[in-house]
Structure 1
């Protein structure tokens, strides 16, 4: 039997009945405490110093769902502190590489069954990514093709607000400090940062600051 060391699993999505049924199954199989909710904001922030990460199964089956919605709802920084796996994903979306850069740890597709679910839990509990070889290859090739070339034109793809927020990032400001400086909500700042990272092709704040040093 696979066991989740933290003993806590969150099932997030609009279909509460399906989540509750799946939660009962997971609790029976791995002895985890399962909690359901509609969005990532339902999950309390991780306690400082907590060694064990929680497993979050996020139902991505809604036709109106997007990675931007996922990030906007992450008010407690769950994507960075815990193990988030997207479930019921359509392979036609091709969101894996971008989602991994946002902090997602794996993907379960419509075709996956119970055995696949349990194998995923075992792998993720060992701090492994749950992705296909094809996606891993695509991700590695994308990273390998990146070149540190100074492109002056890139800066013009950022909006004035995004430039302000990027300036805050280069100064080491936290999201809350940026929000206060530019009279924005923390949710809005987080969404802008997501778009900035996507536009300038970086995955974290340090890379964004280095990019800014070269282009601004």
Structure 2
């Protein structure tokens, strides 16, 4: 594959960056691009620095990684995820746990196909199996149809977005970066949200969101 068509980098999230990962090496060779390794500690540092990254994850090692960092915060939208080596069809909840899932590959998928899909993700495309895409589409349609704010509270779309970000524990700076707005604008929205919900602080707003909004 031509290297100059790619502008973004794919990182392999692993327990030990000095270990050998034959499948990743094969993907790297077929893709024609280096895939830097990233350990959980580096992942957390990248999260704190708000650097947008694409993470390649071996599903077979996911539980170990999740144990290394309790509740691995993949749901943070600053990370796009590519999952490979999946043995069987995942539930919708499992798919959602990977946050901004861009691609999924099964254990019997050819290395060349995985590499090609990874290349498409690097070029800002999605590469999900049809059934997986259908699962996610069904879920988000349900969210839109049934999980809006109660009619008694007149929240804007942006205010609902910010409330959902609060539920994940995001700071004002994180919310600002995720939504591409200023921190001052976030504070202004929070003031209006607190006023509309008749709450005094973030904790009370999060409590309201937990009762009325899905993540």
* Cα separation, partners in 2 of 1:121 and 1:64, compared to 1, 3 Å: closer
Cα RMSD for the two superposed structures? 4.6
User: Once the two structures are superposed, what CA deviation does each residue of 1:74-108 show, in whole Å capped at 9, x if it has no partner?
Assistant: 4xx795334321121232442554235x2222212
* Cα separation, partners in 2 of 1:132 and 1:89, compared to 1, 3 Å: same
Is 1:96–1:135's contact at 8 Å kept on the other side of the alignment?
A: no
- 1:9 aligns with 10
Is 1:85–1:106's contact at 8 Å kept on the other side of the alignment?
A: yes
- 1:98 aligns with 96
* Cα separation, partners in 2 of 1:93 and 1:54, compared to 1, 3 Å: same
State how far apart, in whole Å, the 2-side matches of 1:134 and 1:123 are. Answer: 19
* Cα separation, partners in 2 of 1:7 and 1:24, compared to 1, 3 Å: farther
Shift of 1:17: 4.0
The alignment's TM-score, normalised by the length of structure 2, stands at 0.53
SS in 1 for 2:115: helix
Is 2:59–2:83's contact at 8 Å kept on the other side of the alignment?
A: yes
State how far apart, in whole Å, the 2-side matches of 1:168 and 1:25 are. Answer: 37
* Cα separation, partners in 2 of 1:61 and 1:91, compared to 1, 3 Å: same
- 1:193 aligns with none
State how far apart, in whole Å, the 2-side matches of 1:88 and 1:96 are. Answer: 15
The answer as to 2:134 corresponding to 1:140 is: no
- 1:212 aligns with 209
Report the number of matched residues: 164
- 2:160 aligns with none
- Where does 1:184-203 land on structure 2 (aligned, <5 Å)? none
- 2:115 aligns with 118
Shift of 1:140: 1.8
Note the residue ranges of structure 2 that are not aligned, 5 or more in a row.
151-162, 175-204
SS in 1 for 2:84: strand
Is 1:79–1:104's contact at 8 Å kept on the other side of the alignment?
A: no
Shift of 1:118: 1.6
Shift of 1:36: 2.1
- 1:42 aligns with 42
State how far apart, in whole Å, the 2-side matches of 1:38 and 1:103 are. Answer: 19
